[in-house]
Structure 1
Amino acid sequence: MENFRRVQVVDEDDGQPLPFKNLHPDVVKMRVKEGSKIRNLVGYAVTHMLSEENGQIVFSAYGRGVTKAVTCVEILKRKIGGLHQVTKVQYKIVQEVWEQKGPKVQHPAPRLNVQKNYPSINILLSKEPLDPQEEGYQPPQSMALKETGKRFPLSHSEHCAPKKKTEESEGCY
Structure 2
Amino acid sequence: MQMYRVSRTEDSSCYPIPGLPPDTLHMRVKEGSKIRNLLRFATARMQGEVEDGKGSSLRQVVFTGSGRGVTKTITCVEILKRRVEGLHQVSKLYYKTESEISESPQQGVPSITMLRTVPAICILLSKDPLDPQEPGYQPPQTPRGLTEDVQRCRAVIRPAHGASSQCTAKRVCLDDWSVCSPQLSNV
TM-score range, shorter chain: 0.7 to 0.9
| Structure 1 segments of 4+ aligned residues over 4 angstroms from their partners | 145-148
CA contact (8 A) 1:59 1:73 kept: yes
Residue 106 of structure 2 aligns to a residue whose secondary structure is coil
C-alpha distance in 2 between matches for 1:30 and 1:36: 11
CA positional deviation for 1:101: 2.8
Q: Which residue of 2 aligns with 1:91?
A: 95
CA contact (8 A) 2:16 2:94 kept: no
CA positional deviation for 1:24: 2.1
TM-score by length of 1: 0.77
Q: Which residue of 1 aligns with 2:181?
A: 156
Q: 1:1-173 residue pairs with structure 2 within 5 A?
A: 3-12=2-11, 14=12, 16-51=13-48, 52=56, 55-105=59-109, 110-144=110-144, 151=174, 152-153=176-177, 154-156=179-181
CA contact (8 A) 2:45 2:57 kept: no
Q: Which residue identity is paired with 2:116?
A: K
C-alpha distance in 2 between matches for 1:156 and 1:78: 25
CA positional deviation for 1:98: 1.2
Higher RCO (CA < 8 A, seq sep 6+) = 1
C-alpha distance in 2 between matches for 1:9 and 1:34: 14
How many residue pairs match? The answer is: 149
Query: What whole-Å deviation, never above 9, does each CA across 1:57-80 have from its counterpart, x for those lacking one?
Result: 000110111111100000000111
CA RMSD of superposed structures (Å): 2.3
Q: Which residue identity is paired with 1:41?
A: L
Flag the 1:140–1:75 CA change in 2: closer, same or farther, 3 A.
same
C-alpha distance in 2 between matches for 1:146 and 1:40: 30
Flag the 1:97–1:21 CA change in 2: closer, same or farther, 3 A.
closer
Return 5+ residue gaps in structure 2 as ranges.
49-55, 150-172, 183-187
CA positional deviation for 1:10: 1.9
Residue 75 of structure 1 aligns to a residue whose secondary structure is helix
Flag the 1:133–1:54 CA change in 2: closer, same or farther, 3 A.
farther
CA contact (8 A) 2:101 2:111 kept: yes
Return 5+ residue gaps in structure 1 as ranges.
158-173
Query: What whole-Å deviation, never above 9, does each CA across 1:24-79 have from its counterpart, x for those lacking one?
Result: 22000000011111111111111111115561000011011111110000000011
